[in-house]
Amino acid sequence: MSGQRPTLAAVAARAGVSPSTASLAFSGAGPVAQETRERVLAAARELGYAGPDPLARSLRQGRSGIVATLIGERLLYAFRDPVAVGLLDGLAEVLSSLDSGLLLISGDATRTGPTPDQVARTPMDAVIFAMCGRDDDPLLDHFIGRGIPVVAVDGPHREDVAVLDVDDYGGSMALARHLAELGHRRIATVTLPSRLDGHRGPMSDERRAQVGFADVRQRLKAVEDVFGRVPVVETPTNIIEEGQQAAALLLAAPPAERPTAIVAQSDLLAVGVIRAALDSGLRVPDDLSVVGFDGIETPWLDHYVLTTVEQPYVEKGRVAGRMVAEFLAGRRPDDVRLPIEVRIGTTTAPPAAAGTLAP
Amino acid sequence: MSGQRPTLAAVAARAGVSPSTASLAFSGAGPVAQETRERVLAAARELGYAGPDPLARSLRQGRSGIVATLIGERLLYAFRDPVAVGLLDGLAEVLSSLDSGLLLISGDATRTGPTPDQVARTPMDAVIFAMCGRDDDPLLDHFIGRGIPVVAVDGPHREDVAVLDVDDYGGSMALARHLAELGHRRIATVTLPSRLDGHRGPMSDERRAQVGFADVRQRLKAVEDVFGRVPVVETPTNIIEEGQQAAALLLAAPPAERPTAIVAQSDLLAVGVIRAALDSGLRVPDDLSVVGFDGIETPWLDHYVLTTVEQPYVEKGRVAGRMVAEFLAGRRPDDVRLPIEVRIGTTTAPPAAAGTLAP
DNA sequence: TGTGTGACTCGAATCGATTCGATCGAATCG
DNA sequence: CGATTCGATCGAATCGATTCGAGTCACACA
């Protein structure tokens, strides 16, 4: 009705009490006579006052109740990734029990990430780097400089951030050994993005030396520690189509040079690899073994059971939430490494005899 | 180093200028000599000042740069719904161009929605009801009372909120007519949740009279306006499994009473219906015609092309974002109704002859 | 009757910036 | 050369609450 929205002071005046008392009446902290409280609430109702302004309250308390989550990719892609979705779900579950909101900050179609400006303007109590914590992300310094606690999921290992990850190296190593034991010698890898610049295709030495994401680096290193240098094709985004395209590149080689097994750095990419194989008339696992990483459930796999490393990604989100809670409580959470499990499925088998002995 | 984080005032003092000037140096508004600006920035660097506190700035400017999006369901379910995901993607795209952040507020495993308390404590410039705008949602009044602009996607239709929807009634009507023209007489419907209370099963008269969501109501009404009263089974969540379970209930009837066509209120539910049909040994569309709503692309449909109503859900998200932008610019956006298109696929056909003429 | 205790309320400082109007010197114009 | 204008800077008010220490009052206890 009136031009201006009423303030707590106005309500207090109307109720005939001081602003401090009115504040106590709303927040419930401190002793307030029952009758006084009711008078205040009545005054608020009459004036159409909906409760203390969150902004003013946040400023005073130095806390906004907002936890930001950085998603590297466009939401559309991130949401197609069951790992990302599971992570967010676990996270949301815990945050909501903390009475904190989940603010999504994502890249978009044109930019590769959020503008530093937007990040600097947004109030947040803590930030989570979800699947996009490049070791040298400039935003990291910003947050640290601001004193905003950072939880890095699979993210940069640094002194000043709390890290939550799995044993990427060990998991990938186990898969690589599995392939080696089956007799594979010609291996290739399809990797997740090594940085968010949209690059697609064979990975140059230069890029290989500058892989920005720790998990990508570890998973790649494990394979190379078993097989030595292998052909690597990089994808710009963790979606099936990119895996398919990358694998098509690898499978276009003449049969004698064609890999007998492909290590995909994610299950989603692995699905793409399988599709590419089928597209080229190859049978999986007879002509091509495929392994992934993550352990997602997906309807895209038909009757296959993917050989992969299972990681508890929903729990990962929950743990990330709990680490944030620790920070908010003023403590510095310990780094966490969640357990993984290797699952041998039906997408791996010994390589076809061709090449080892002439038929 | 020092116990406290530096403030703008400290930086100003160090640079030998007034706080007002320092503020201008950072914000870029107003004229500041090049040399002065540099002096201020240098002082900031020396003190480790990361820029103005977003909370203080927000309080003064009365704007937080945060747009909240209410998701009724648990994120895990919402993210399995391509419509929800597409909507969020379009929304995020526009919001990020507005330099606003996307705050997700969702229900969780235990509660059916966010606590009013959390909502009241969170600073936000605008709010979007995405697929959860019950006509009588108490949160609505809260936002209105706070003066926070509301954009309601698919309802609720109220004077004081901006609505963005499609012609649910018209679309469903077209589908219903299509089925009628094919000769179907025994129809049943599987609906989306009529309210978020986890109810599953046949819809009682009482619930039917109290459908909280406008789109659900319209889609149901259209079917009944063509076929009269039909059996209705309600689902608690828009996921395939629920559609399957609901349809199983309907298909358990003896053949003579079994519906020859099922109208699912979403494509996801329709996929479930098809599965249930196949589970019961029925052929689609020969023994059972199925229609959906939304027009999603999904790998779950095998070779079927679903008969459905296509709505532009990514664009829907973008438009919602633009409506928010209008509000933020101080204008009241007009309500928007996006165009839809009926797509006749391969999941509908005339009913089997049985029942009309004895073979 | 003096004093301690506890419940309740208030005043004033504070959170950290932004912004409006005023000031002041230098440059421009007639 | 005086009047205007413009650019740069500053002071002070303001955004809307929370919080802490202090003050008041009634009641109980010795």
Q: A340 by DSSP, 3-state: which?
A: coil
Closest CA to B58 of B122, B153, B149, B113: B122
Domains A66-166+312-340 and A168-311 agree in fold: yes
Contact map slice: A 204-233 vs B, CB within 8 A: none
Cβ-contact A181, A165 below 8 angstroms: no
Cβ-defined contact of A57 to B86 (cutoff 8 Å): no
Chain B nearest C-alpha distance from A116 (Å): 10
Chain A residue numbers with beta carbons less than 8 Å from the beta carbon of B299 are 299-300
Q: How far is the CA of A57 from the C1' of C4 (A)?
A: 37
Query: Among the CATH numbers 3.30.70.20, 3.40.50.2300, 3.40.50.720, 2.60.40.10, which is that of A66-166+312-340?
Result: 3.40.50.2300
Contact A79 B79 (CB under 8 A): yes
**Lookup result for tokens 């539910």:** B269
Band (B109; pLDDT cuts 50, 70, 90) = low
Residue in B with minimal Cα distance to A3: B147
Specify the amino acid at residue B101.
G
Backbone dihedral region for residue A160 (phi beyond 0: left; psi -120 to 50: alpha; all else: beta): alpha
Architecture of the domain made up of B66-166+312-339: 3-Layer(aba) Sandwich (3.40)
Give the minimum alpha-carbon distance from A237 to chain B in angstroms, rounded to a whole number.
16
Nearest-Cα distance to chain B for A112, in Å, is 12
- In a 13 Å sphere around the CA of A207, the CA atoms on its Cβ side amount to 21
Angle at A11 between CA B150 and CA A1, to 5 degrees: 45
pLDDT digits (tens, 9 = 90+) for B270-314: 999 999 999 999 999 999 999 999 999 988 888 999 999 999 999
- Return the amino acid letter for B63: R
Name the residue among B51, B89, B96 with its Cβ closest to that of A114. B96
| C-beta atoms of B79 and A88 within 8 A | yes
Per DSSP, A333 falls in state P
In sequence order, what DSSP letters do the residues of B97-161 get, joined into one string? HTT-EEEEEE--SSSSS--HHHHHHS--SEEEEES--BTT-HHHHHHHHHT--EEEET----TTS
For every residue of B256-300, DSSP letters joined together read TTS-SEEEESSHHHHHHHHHHHHHTT--TTTT-EEE-SB----GG
Hey, what's the torsion of the CAs at B173, B175, B178, B182, to 10 degrees? -120
> Of B168, B83, B89, B171, whose CA–CA distance to B131 is shortest?
B83
Q: Which B-chain residues 111-150 have CB contacts (< 8 A) with chain A? A: 111, 114-115, 117-118, 120-124, 142, 145-147
For residues A302 and B300, the answer to whether their CB atoms sit within 8 Å is no
Contacts of A120 in chain B (CB under 8 A): 50-51, 54
For residue A322, give Cα distances in angstroms to A100, B109, B304.
Answer: 12, 17, 44
| CA angle centred on A119, ends A116 and A121, rounded to 5° | 110
Scanning A45-64 for CB atoms below 8 A from B yields 48, 50-51, 53-59, 62, 64
Using the structure, give the distance in angstroms from the CA atom of A6 to the C1' atom of C11, rounded to a whole number: 22
Angle at the Cα of B60 from the Cα atoms of B334 and A69, rounded to 5 degrees? 70
Q: Which residues of chain B are within 8 Å of residue A296 when distances are taken between CB atoms?
A: none
Report residue B303 as tokens: 């070779």
On whether the CB atoms of residues A353 and A185 are closer than 8 A, the answer is: no
Distance from CA of B105 to the nearest CA of A (A): 7
CA distance B283 to A24: 66
Average pLDDT, chain A: 92
| CA–CA distance, B263 with B292 (Å, rounded to integer) | 6
pLDDT at A110: 54
* Per-residue model confidence as pLDDT tens digits over B332-353: 999 999 999 999 999 999 998 7
A247: pLDDT strictly greater than 50: yes
Instruction: Return the C-alpha torsion angle A57, A62, A63, A67, nearest 10.
Output: 140
Summarised one tens digit per residue, pLDDT across range A5-18 is 999 999 999 999 99
* Subunit contact B121:A50, Cβ cutoff 8 A: no
Q: Which residues of B192-227 are buried (b: 16+ CB within 10 A; e: fewer)?
A: bbbbbeeeeeebeeebbeebbbbbbbbbbebbbebb
pLDDT digits (tens, 9 = 90+) for B33-58: 999 999 999 999 999 999 999 999 99
* Nearest nucleotide, CA A52 to C1': D17
- Domain extents in chain B: 8-52, 66-166+312-339, 168-311
pLDDT of residue A2: 46
Give the H/E segment covering residue A83: helix A82-97
A168-311: CATH topology: Rossmann fold (3.40.50)
Give per-residue pLDDT as tens, B256-280.
Answer: 999 999 999 999 999 999 999 999 9
| Cα distances (Å, whole numbers) of residue A278 to A273, A290, B206 | 9, 12, 53
A3 pLDDT more than 70: no
Over the stretch A184-227, which tens digit does the pLDDT of each residue have?
999 999 999 998 888 999 999 999 999 999 999 999 999 999 99
Q: Find and list the nucleotides of strand C having atoms within 7 Å of a protein beta carbon.
A: 7-12, 14-21
Measured between alpha carbons, how far is A135 from B111 in angstroms, rounded to an integer?
38
CATH 1.10.260 fits A1-47, yes or no: yes
Q: Token digits for A238?
A: 């963790």
For A186, the 3-state DSSP assignment is: coil
Question: In the block, which residue shows the tokens 């997408």?
Answer: A347
